[in-house]
Amino acid sequence: MKAFKKTGIALLLAMAVIISPLMAGTEARAASAAIGFEKDLETVRVDDVVTVTLKLTADAIIGTFEGYISYNSDVLAFVTGPETIVGGEGILKINDSDPDARFNERSYTIFFKATGIGSCDIKMRGNPEIYQAETDFPMSVSSSPLTIDVLASQRASSDASLAAMKISPGTLTPDFSPEIFEYSVTVPYETTTLLVSAVTSDAKANVKIEGNDELDVGQNRVLLLVTAEDGSLNKYVIYAAREPEKNGDSGAGTDVTGTPADGENTESGTPENTNEGGQTAPAEGSYFYATDEDGLVYLNAGSRYTIEKDTGSVKIPEGYFKTSILISGHTVTAYSPTEDLSSDFLLLILSKNGGEPELYTFDRVEKTVQRYSSAKKDTTINSKTSSGYANINEAELTGKYEKSLHNLTLVIAIMSGICMLLLILTIRLALKSKEKKSAPARRTGTRTRNTR
C-alpha cells in the first residue's frame, strides 16, 4: 500500500511538471492584444490630409494603454488627434487610462498632413504596455505598421534642370548648358574648396552640392543634385582636378583626365607625341584621354579606339539610357543604367583598330575600358534573386520552427494523457491485487466455521 501511494504521488508530481507549462501558455494566450493601423486614402499626395485609425483589440477587457507612435516627419506632419495622444516631430505619445472604458476593443483617430514626397512607416515604437482591466496584469502585445507612400501633387513641376551654374576659381569646360551634365575644371594647389553657385530653372526645385570641400590633389568629383517639385532628379557632375604642389619650376599641373598641363608625362617623363591633326597628346598607353582628328574622336586607353557617334548595328541592352559624358573636353555619347548618371560603369560604342563597332564597359573611376559582357548584368540580377531566395528561406525556417513548436506542444499533451491512463491502470491493478489478497482469508474463515 505504501509503495502504491509513493507511485501515485510520483506520477501526480510528474503530471504537474508536464502540465504546468501548458497551463501557463494557455494563460498567456488568454491575455493578449493586437495593434493595427488603417488609412482612409488609397492614394496620398502632398498637401492631402490623411486620417489614420489606430485599432486596438484584445481577448480581455482593456485597461490602461501606454505607448509611443513613430512616423517620418519629413513626409507627414501631425495635425490633431484625441486628448490621449500628444506630440509631434516624428513621435506621438499615447496614454489612455480611462477606468470607464470597459471593452476589449478601442480605436483612436489621428490626422496627418502630407508635407513631402516619400515613404512613411507609422508604427509603435518600443514595447507598448496594455493592462487587463480586472487584474491589472500586463498583456502580451503584437503590432503591425502602416506604410504611406506620398506622391507629388498633380500640379507639381517635373523640371529638375539648372538655369545657371558658376564656379570659383576656374572656368567650366565646356560652357554651361542645362542639357550638359558633365564638366571639368583645373584649380591650383592652393584651392581646397570649389565655390559653386547654381540656380534652378524652376523656383520650387532645390539643389544639393556634394564633394566641393576638402579637395584632394588630383581628380575630385563634385555633384549637384537637383530635385524637382515632383521628386524628379537630375545630377550635374564637375570633375575638379587640383594641381600638385609645385617645387620651384619643376612642378606640373594635371587636368581632369591626367594629361600633364606643361606638355610632359609626369609618370614616365617622356614628352608628348604629336598626332596627325597637329594636336599633342600623352604617350599612348600612359593615360586615359581623347583626341579629335579629322572630325573623328579617338579614345586612348592603352589601345586606340574610335568613338562611334551612332549605334549602327550595335544593340543597346534594355534598361540603359542614352546620355553624354566629357572626356578630355570632348562630348562623348554614352549609355547609363541609371537616368541620373550615378553609376560608375557606362557603355560606350567603340571600334578598335578599324574593326566593327562594339559595346565596351567604361569604368569612370579606374579610367579603363573592356568589352561589354551581358553576364555582368545577369550576375547582378542573380544576386538580387539570391537575396530573394534568402528571404524566402528565412520565412520557411520561421514556419518550420512554429510548426515544430506546435508539434512539441501536441506531443506533451499526448504524453500527459498517457500518464493519466497509466495512473488509472496502476490504481485498478492495485485494487485488484488487494482484492486477491483478501479473498483467501475470507474463504479460510468460512471453512473453519463449517468445521466447528
Question: Would you state the pLDDT for residue 401?
Answer: 64
Give the DSSP H or E segment for 233.
strand 233-242
Question: Would you state the pLDDT for residue 336?
Answer: 87
Question: Would you state the pLDDT for residue 120?
Answer: 95
Q: Provide mean pLDDT across the span 79-101.
A: 90
Q: Is 63 contained in some domain?
A: yes
d(CA 443, CA 220): 114
Same domain, 235 and 306: yes
- Of 376, 394, 414, the one marking the end of a domain is 376
Q: Provide mean pLDDT across the span 248-277.
A: 38
Beta carbons of 368 and 304 less than 8 angstroms apart:
no
Same domain, 257 and 112: no
Is residue 190 pLDDT above 80, yes or no?
Answer: yes
Q: For residue 331, what are the contacts with CB-CB under 8 A and spacing of at least 6?
A: 174, 180, 324, 325
Q: Is 403 contained in some domain?
A: no
Is residue 26 pLDDT above 90, yes or no?
Answer: no
Same domain, 75 and 219: no
d(CA 211, CA 360): 28
- Boundaries of domain holding 301: 162-376
The structural domain count of the chain equals 3
Same domain, 183 and 268: yes
More confident of the two residues 265 and 51: 51
Same domain, 204 and 243: yes
d(CA 33, CA 132): 10
Is residue 194 pLDDT above 90, yes or no?
Answer: yes
Same domain, 188 and 304: yes
Same domain, 278 and 367: yes
| Residue 115: alpha-carbon gap to chain centroid | 22
Give the percent of the chain with pLDDT over 90: 41
Q: Is 49 contained in some domain?
A: yes
- Of 376, 392, 411, the one marking the end of a domain is 376
Copy the grid coordinates of residue 125: 515604437
Same domain, 11 and 91: no
Same domain, 251 and 103: no
Q: Is 261 contained in some domain?
A: yes
pLDDT band of residue 450 (cuts 50, 70, 90) is: very low
More confident of the two residues 125 and 28: 125
Q: Is 433 contained in some domain?
A: no
pLDDT band of residue 321 (cuts 50, 70, 90) is: confident
Question: Would you state the pLDDT for residue 57?
Answer: 94
Same domain, 180 and 132: no
Same domain, 235 and 356: yes
Whole-angstrom CA distances from 317 to 130, 291, 337, 348 are: 56, 27, 9, 12
Question: Would you state the pLDDT for residue 276?
Answer: 38
Beta carbons of 156 and 230 less than 8 angstroms apart:
yes
Copy the grid coordinates of residue 267: 609618370
Nearest to 159 by CA among 206, 209, 224: 206
Give the DSSP H or E segment for 300.
strand 296-301
Q: Strand 32-39 and strand 140-143: pairing?
A: parallel
> Can you tell me which residue has the cell 506621438?
92
- Of 151, 170, 205, the one marking the end of a domain is 151
Q: Is 156 contained in some domain?
A: no
Question: Would you state the pLDDT for residue 318?
Answer: 86
Same domain, 342 and 255: yes
Give the pLDDT confidence of 201-255 residue by residue, as tens digits: 999 899 999 999 999 999 899 999 999 988 889 999 999 999 998 765 444 443 4
Beta carbons of 432 and 21 less than 8 angstroms apart:
no
Q: Strand 91-96 and strand 105-114: pairing?
A: unpaired
Q: Strand 206-210 and strand 233-242: pairing?
A: unpaired
- CATH number for 106: 2.60.40.680
- Residues 21-30, buried b or exposed e (16+ Cβ, 10 A)? eeeeeeeeee
Q: Provide mean pLDDT across the span 267-276.
A: 37
